[in-house]
Structure 1
Amino acid sequence: MPYELFIALRHLKSRRRQTLISISAIGIAVMILVVSNAFMAGFTNEIYEVTVENLPHVVVTPDEDEEYIHFYNSIIPQIEKMEGVTATSPALEGEATLQYKEHTINVLMRGVIPEKEDMVSHISNDMTEGDFHMLAHSRNTIVIGDALAEDLDVKVGDEISVNFPTANPASYEVTGIFDTGTPVDNILTYTSLNTAQEFYDIGDAVNVINVRLADYNDDTKIAKQIEEIGYEASGWTTTNPEILQTIKIETTSNNIMLLLILLIASFGVVSTLNMVVMEKVKEIGILMAMGATASAIRRIFILESGILGLIGAIAGSIIGIAIALAIGSYPVPAGFYELEVIPVFIRTTDILITVVGVFVLNLIAGVYPAQRASGLDPAEAISTH
């Protein structure tokens, strides 16, 4: 064992109380960091699960000079051959007004091929009443969100009037109700593609092709590939930038707060080592008189700082993981943001970065007291006490 490390350990052992306080300060800071990161990662995953997973990852729209996509049946096979594309769904979307008794609400009506749409949005998993695929076997039927059903005061089996100034008015039967847990439950409705085409009287055409990817992070790449074959396309990060912006703002503010906590803990280490320097002036002088160089003295105190940081970071990480997992298994009261348990996700990379970061930060924090100790004059140090 190098004598610098031996002396550093002896210093720390001889001041057990101060050492324990320093390690505890760092450990608490790291514990807060680990728990907070686990919550942030968990809620970020939840946001992606609730929003991005229910969104089309790429949306193909008509060219600027066109209102509809007329040859969608020839476009879809080209898109489906692209690596990373798992499903496509042609749709005809437009505004519509639903009326039931005295209730009137403007909505977005989406005409789809149920089998294809379900492969993109997995809407059948969100059905609370009825069968989404029944749209394929019936005409003039509609599936609506639970919030919209409550606003209209309708239930499965009721007939509602559907109209729009430029469309053909009709009566549709409510054959299903879905609940995605998102704001779309207030405005989105589904009907069959044929029914929507008849309602808007446009023939066999669509105005959007929704695309699902194996990895939603590839949305920009796939959108560019679709544009290369001559069609307008946008990824979800372009059409829904507010999701990324919300996550970015929350993550930034969280990281700033946690960095301040770690800096406070590191200053505690600096204070402890400064006290060691003041108390060990004579011992430092003796070491230098025995031949210890200034760089060796500097290494002793930097090692002490690094040891405090490493032990504190490891202990804090272990405790933080245990607390995060315990909180993550705690059930959430029914109806609280559609969550069953508090979302927690622990990433190994986050833990490693935290431990290494705290270790390096404490090494840096130990430079000042180490420099101060190495700058002592041996003769003055010995004669100080």
Structure 2
Amino acid sequence: MRYELFISFRQIRARKFQTILSVGAIALAVMVLTVSQALIVGFTGELYDTTVNKIPHVSVSPQEGEDYIYLYRTLIDRIDKIEGVSAVSPFFTGTASFRFKTNSRNAEMKGILPLQENNIIDIEDDIVEGDFRELEYSKNTVVIGSKLADKLEVNLGDSVEVSFPNANPLSLKVVGIFYTGSPMDESLTYTSLSTAQEFYDVPDVINGLSIRLENFYRDREVAAEIENTGYKAKGWSETNPEILRTIAIESTSNKVLFGLIIVIASFGVVSTLNLSVIGAISQIGMLRAMGATISGIRTIFILQSGILGLLGALIGTFSGIVIAFLIGEYETPAPIHGGLTTIPAVIRPQDVIFIIVVVFLLNLIAGIYPAQQAAKLDPVKAISSR
């Protein structure tokens, strides 16, 4: 073992109280950082699950001047060949009035191919009553949102009367009820594509396509490629910019918090090392008199800073991981954030490694100033100060 490392460890052990304070300050800061990062990652992931994964990544609408997409099967084949496209679902949508007994509400009626639409937004995961796939097997059926069902006072198996100006009135049997925890629960209904076409009295046409991508960050790139075919296309980041803004705000606040915590922890190390330099002036003089070089003295204090930073980072991350797991298991008294009953906390290995490395390096850098001050001490004056 090099003498610098040996002396560093000895100094750390000799000043136990200062060491505990320094390591504790760093550990506390890193613990807070680890927990906050876990919560931010958890809530960001939940935000994506309840927003981006519940909407089409790209939406295609008719060509300029057209109301419908006529040769939609050919268009679907072309879009399927685009790299990164994992699913395509045709739909015909419009407004309809739903009536049950004396209750009446307007909502969007979306005619779909159930299997393809489920590949886009996993509707089956949101079904709380009934069977979504029954739309595919039974004619004149509908799946509605839970809030709309409550306002209409309908139950599974009831038939609702559907009408709208210039449309063919229908009686649709409720075969499923879904819950997403979003406004869609009151404003959206699903029926089969053929039923919607019959209701709106149109031939075998659609007025839109929903597309799911393997990487939803490529939405604008894929939309631009589809627009080359002459159809209008928009990605989710263009149609829902508020999602990106929310994520950007969370990311910025996390970075600010990260910086503040690291600065606080680093100042604690600097203060401790400065006190260590003041308390070890005579020892520094003796080391210089015994032949220790200026760089050797500097290395001793930088090593102390690095060791304290590493210990604090390891203890802090371990404590943060334990607390994050405990928070993740806590059941909230009432649902939050779209129906969550637990607080989402996600620990990613790359985050843990990043925090440890950054805290260690910053504390190593923070130790340069007190180390430089120690190296500048005149050995004769240092010894005479005893």
TM-score range with shorter-chain normalisation?
over 0.9
2:385 maps to which residue? Answer: 384
Equivalent position of 1:42 in the other structure: 42
CA distance in 1, matches of 2:335, 2:274: 53
What is aligned with 2:319? 319
**Deviation of 1:166 (Å):** 4.7
The Cα offsets for residues 272-330 of structure 1, whole Å up to 9 and x where unpaired, read as 11111111111112222333232222221111111110111011111211222232233
How many residue pairs end up in the alignment?
A: 385
Cα deviation, residue 16, structure 1: 1.0
Does the CA-based 8 Å contact 2:99-2:105 persist in structure 1? yes
SS of the residue corresponding to residue 59 of structure 1 reads: strand
- Cα gap change, 1:354/1:63 in structure 2, threshold over 3 Å: closer, same or farther? same
1:183 CA displacement: 2.3
The aligned residue for residue 279 of structure 2 is 279
Deviates more, 1:82-91 or 1:67-76: 82-91
Shift of residue 349, structure 1, vs aligned partner: 0.9
1:56 is displaced (CA, Å) by 1.6
Q: Write the deviation string for residues 27-69 of structure 1: whole angstroms up to 9, x where unpaired.
A: 1111111111111111222222222222222211222332221
Please say if residues 142 and 190 of structure 2, whose CA atoms lie closer than 8 Å, have aligned partners that are also in contact. yes
- The SS at the match of 2:340 is coil
Correspondence list, 1:143-158, <5 A: 143-158=143-158
Between the two proteins, what is the percent identity of the paired residues? 52
1:123 matches 2:123: yes
Structure 1 residue 15: deviation in Å? 0.3
Kindly indicate whether residue 55 of structure 2 is the aligned counterpart of residue 55 of structure 1: yes
- The runs of 5 or more residues in structure 2 that have no matched partner are none
Work out the CA distance in 1 between the residues paired with 2:200 and 2:282: 92
Match of 1:348 in 2: 349
Q: Which moved more, 1:193-202 or 1:88-97?
A: 193-202
1:220 — aligned with what? Answer: 220
Distance 1:308 1:228 in 2: 59
What CA RMSD, in Å, does the superposition of the two structures yield over aligned residues?
Answer: 2.0
Structure 1 residues not aligned, in runs of 5+: none
SS of match in other structure, 2:108 = strand
Q: CA deviation at 1:254?
A: 2.9
The equivalent residue for 1:364 is 365
Contact 1:30–1:317 under 8 Å retained in 2: yes
Please say if residues 72 and 205 of structure 1, whose CA atoms lie closer than 8 Å, have aligned partners that are also in contact: yes
Residue 85 of structure 2 corresponds to 85
TM-score of the superposed pair, with normalisation by structure 1: 0.93
Cα distance, 1:23 vs structure 2: 0.5
Residues 100-133 of structure 1 show CA distances to partners (whole Å, capped at 9, x for unaligned) of 3443333221111122212222212322222222
- Letter matched to residue 241 of structure 1: P
The 10-residue stretch of structure 1 (307-316 or 98-107) with the greater mean CA deviation from structure 2? 98-107
> Residue 375 of structure 1 aligns with which residue?
376
In the alignment, what sits opposite 1:331?
Answer: 331
Query: How far 1:366 sits from its partner (Å)?
Result: 1.1
Deviations 1:347-376 (A, max 9, x none): 111111101110111112112211211222
Greater mean deviation of Cα atoms: 329-338 or 136-145: 329-338
- What CA deviation, in whole Å up to 9, does each residue of 1:168-209 have, x standing for no partner? 444433232111232211211111212222332332211111
State the secondary structure of the residue aligned to 1:62: strand
Residue aligned with 2:133, SS: helix
CA distance in 2, matches of 1:230, 1:212: 20
- Report the Cα offset of residue 334 of structure 1: 6.0
TM-score for the superposition, normalised by structure 2? 0.93
The question of whether the paired residues in 2 share the 8 Å contact of 1:51 and 1:182 is answered with: no
Deviation at residue 167 of structure 1 after TM alignment: 3.4
Separation of aligned partners in 1, 2:319 and 2:137: 56
SS at match of 1:132: coil
Matches within 5 A, 1:126-275: 126-275=126-275
Residue identity matched to 1:39: L
Instruction: Quote the Cα distance in structure 1 between the aligned partners of 2:2 and 2:106.
Output: 77
The aligned amino acid for 1:14 is: A
For the 8 Å contact 2:64–2:231, the answer to whether it is kept is no
